[in-house]
Amino acid sequence: MSKFRKPLLIIGLSVLASAATALAGDGEHFKLGRVATPDELLAWDIDVRPDGLGLPDGRGTVAHGMEIFDENCASCHGDFGEAVGRWPVLAGGKGTLQADRPEKTIGSYWPYLSTVFDYVRRAMPFGNARSLSDDDVYALTAYLLYLNDVVTDDEFELSKENFADIKLPNEVNFTDDDRTKEPFYADKSEPCMENCKPDKATIKAHAAILDVTPEDAGEDDQPASGGIE
Amino acid sequence: MKTETTRTTRRALLRAGLAGGTAALTTGTAAGARAAGDPAITEIQDWNRYPGKGVDATPYGSPSSFEAHVIRKNVPWLTSDPISSVNFTPLHEIDGIITPSGLCFERHHGGIAEIDPNAHRLMVHGMVDKPLVFTMADLKRFPRENRIYFLECAANSGMEWRGAQLNGCQYTHGMVHCVMYTGVPLRTILNEAGVKPEGKWLLAEGADASAMTRSVPLEKALDDCMVAFGMNGEALRPEQGYPVRLVVPGWEGNMWIKWLRRLEIGDQPWQQREETSKYTDLLATGKARRFTFLMDVKSVITNPSPQAPIRHGKGPLVLTGVAWSGNGRIKRVDVSVDGGRNWHTARIDGPSLPKALHRFYYEFDWDGSELFLQSRAIDEAGFVQPTKDQLRGVRGSNSIYHNNGIQTWHVTEEGSIENVEIS
């Protein structure tokens, strides 16, 4: 038994009612489950972190990525990652994050290249996930960098070795959750109960005028605000 | 169908009986006097005369056919494909704090995985003493707990950031449900593998075609997270992750990984697609918040509301709604009928459980005048639900997620109701 197990358990239990202590087994083991085999771990452990941990061996060029993209991806994401219909836009949108309608793409928004590799390998193409080889995913990732002008050389080859050197432009613009510092949360005083505003309420926006709720909406109705993707 | 023919015959019989009754009335017999009044009372109804279906008719029951409108709804324009999309809980038609399993909103990224529980495995690995594999049978041999929690999609009310858009609380607030989960504390399962001291984060992964992944701080994983195989007393519904899902109380729904198959311990977050591209909150400055896990204090009046207009005229009116907070219990809900000028403390009824829906009521006499209905929840941490203008003042309008601003319903003198924003 590990000597480290107990302190961790205490962290977890300290915030709970005492009734939960017995449920947690108090550090006891139930001897359930069996040890995972190395092949089982290889089959399922495919996640990749920003520091490159989890990257498989392999490599792929921009040119090869373009071939794979045209064949497997362009029907939804467009020839240049600009997207067809409402499917996700993968490239472009640089400098739009403060715009009224930001375009959040790999190049304009995503912080880490590892996410591109991981997500494509795990969940794309939509409807045929896990069908691409590791080399294919390296090549596609290289091509997506090219479409987003992060690399400009169409001879560029992405590999396990040079992967962690590549930085996406928007990495610096992510901040931690600081909602509790927002004035309306920081101020925990009693809210106003009587005569809180001077004039009678007047309407400044109507949902019915937009008329995009399913029972009412016609074919051509366009929502004012985007979808949730 | 046999019953159809029978029913027609019975109706014909009833009509014949009524004709006889009318004839009797004209002659002024005692039998005829019964017909003066509400025919729901004075006429013998089919269900009072003819036996209904037997106990073998519906081995797994369904709601009354008269409740057929109480269903989840989809908004096609929200997403490019219904496989990676969302539908909405009919909040305006339900009461109490428990959401019926069949009405719980759905959010999938690769459709509903239909998993044979005998072929399902849960793997625990990474920074552990020994990587383990569990079958469903193994999971059901651990000590269990039952807990009631709300699950709210981070994008609930997200379409309303720019203003009033969808007309009904089902659409504006229906990405939430609250059920009783049965399962095993996550710490019990992690303890079985033995988490190493350098482990700080947990990666949870689903077995569906999106292989959904999220990074969860280990502190939360060891606190109140559950690996649940039951909801509302029975197995999870397929659309809610059958045979097993992660329960992350008070935190955004995306983290509640369905069809849970893998738990990995690491020393850093993984920065997966669902915590970088999605579920990060863009601010007006161009910066974006990440790891905004907690769902803040929130409430909505579910009835009256645009899908539930006032049809009974003036007089006694039951106003009801739900409130919830990822911080714990709801301490108080205030209701305004004049758009936030004056507030009245509502009555919370039923269990008040941490990180669960709370049901509130405010009964008043409606004089038939125009109303601007609002509700404002306060949680036990002291946080007060903000207005949408307050939220937008700090964040802008492009955050997509975590819109917990106060909702306004405009009630006309006729009793029809609209989703509005007011000054």
What pLDDT digit, counting tens, does each position of A206-216 carry?
987 777 788 65
Q: Does position B156 have pLDDT exceeding 90, yes or no? A: yes
Residue B375 touches partner A, C-beta closer than 8 Å = no
Residue B235 touches partner A, C-beta closer than 8 Å = no
Domain parsing of chain A, residue ranges: 57-172
Strand partners, B84: B81
Residue B45 touches partner A, C-beta closer than 8 Å = no
pLDDT in tens, B349-365: 999 999 999 999 999 99
Say if the Cβ atoms of B306 and A207 lie within 8 Å: yes
Residue B106 touches partner A, C-beta closer than 8 Å = no
CB B82 within 8 A of CB B73: no
Contacts of B414 in chain A (CB under 8 A): none
More confident residue, A110 or B1: A110
- Which of B193, B276, B278 is nearest residue A112 as measured by Cβ atoms? B276
Please give the average per-residue pLDDT across B85-109, as a whole number: 97
In three-state secondary structure terms, B410 is strand
Say if the Cβ atoms of A225 and B77 lie within 8 Å: no
Please give the average per-residue pLDDT across B203-218, as a whole number: 97
pLDDT in tens, A10-32: 444 444 443 333 333 347 799 99
With vertex at residue A145, the alpha carbon angle to CA A139 and CA A149, rounded to the nearest 5 degrees, is 140
pLDDT at residue number B180: 98
Cα–Cα distance measured from residue B286 to residue B399, given in angstroms and rounded to the nearest whole number? 10
Contacts of A88 in chain B (CB under 8 A): 80
CB A77 within 8 A of CB A53: no
Q: Indicate the DSSP class of residue A170.
A: T
pLDDT band at A227 (very low <50, low <70, confident <90, very high): low
pLDDT band at A224 (very low <50, low <70, confident <90, very high): low
Q: How far is B298 from chain A (nearest CA, A)?
A: 12
Q: What percent of chain A has pLDDT over 90?
A: 76
Contacts of A87 in chain B (CB under 8 A): 80
> Among residues B77, B275, B281, which one has the least CA distance to residue A97?
B281
A and B: number of Cβ contacts within 8 A:
316
Q: Does position A181 have pLDDT exceeding 50, yes or no? A: yes
Please give the average per-residue pLDDT across B236-265, as a whole number: 98
Say if the Cβ atoms of A40 and B276 lie within 8 Å: no
Which residue has tokens 């497997």? A72
More confident residue, B120 or A4: B120
Q: Give yes or no for a cis peptide into B304 (omega within 30° of 0).
A: yes
Chain mean pLDDT for chain B: 93
Number of other residues whose CB lies within 10 A of the CB of residue B144: 18
pLDDT at residue number B3: 44
Which residue has tokens 């309608």? A101
Any idea which fold A57-172 has? Cytochrome Bc1 Complex; Chain D, domain 2 (1.10.760)
With vertex at residue B44, the alpha carbon angle to CA B40 and CA B49, rounded to the nearest 5 degrees, is 130
pLDDT in tens, A106-146: 999 999 999 999 999 999 999 999 999 999 999 999 999 99
pLDDT band at B33 (very low <50, low <70, confident <90, very high): low
Closest B-chain CA to A76: B80
Say if the Cβ atoms of B123 and A36 lie within 8 Å: yes
- Domains of chain B by range and CATH? 81-289 (3.90.420.10), 298-420 (2.60.40.650)
Q: Does position B138 have pLDDT exceeding 70, yes or no? A: yes
More confident residue, A219 or B339: B339
Residue B182 touches partner A, C-beta closer than 8 Å = no
Chain mean pLDDT for chain A: 87
Of A211-225, B9-23, B229-243, where does the model show the most confidence? Answer: B229-243
Q: Does position B25 have pLDDT exceeding 90, yes or no? A: no
Say if the Cβ atoms of A223 and B159 lie within 8 Å: yes
Task: Round to the nearest angstrom and report the end-to-end CA distance of chain A.
Answer: 46
CB B295 within 8 A of CB B324: yes
pLDDT in tens, B39-90: 999 999 999 999 999 999 999 999 999 999 999 999 888 888 888 889 999 9
B184 φ, ψ (degrees, to nearest 5)? -115, 135
Closest A-chain CA to B124: A36
A19 φ, ψ (degrees, to nearest 5)? -60, -30
Q: Give yes or no for a cis peptide into B76 (omega within 30° of 0).
A: no
Strand bridging mode A174-176 / B288-290: parallel
pLDDT at residue number B231: 98
Q: What percent of chain B has pLDDT over 70?
A: 92
Q: How far is A98 from chain B (nearest CA, A)?
A: 5
Q: Does position B4 have pLDDT exceeding 70, yes or no? A: no
> Among residues B282, B205, B208, which one has the least CA distance to residue A127?
B208
Cα–Cα distance measured from residue B191 to residue A5, given in angstroms and rounded to the nearest whole number? 7
Closest A-chain CA to B219: A12
Residue B364 touches partner A, C-beta closer than 8 Å = no
Say if the Cβ atoms of A8 and B197 lie within 8 Å: yes
More confident residue, B291 or A227: B291
Q: How far is CA B161 from the centre of its chain?
A: 20
CB B377 within 8 A of CB B325: yes
pLDDT at residue number A218: 47
Residue B198 touches partner A, C-beta closer than 8 Å = no
Please give the average per-residue pLDDT across A61-65, as a whole number: 98
Say if the Cβ atoms of B271 and A15 lie within 8 Å: no
Long-range CB pairs of A89-95, under 8 A, 24+ apart, other chains included = A90/A144, A90/A147, A90/A148, A91/A144, A91/A147, A91/A148, A92/A148, A94/A149, A94/A169
Region of poorest pLDDT, from A206-215, B118-127, B167-176 = A206-215
Please give the average per-residue pLDDT across B223-252, as a whole number: 98
Q: How far is A99 from chain B (nearest CA, A)?
A: 8
Residue B354 touches partner A, C-beta closer than 8 Å = no
Residue B352 touches partner A, C-beta closer than 8 Å = no
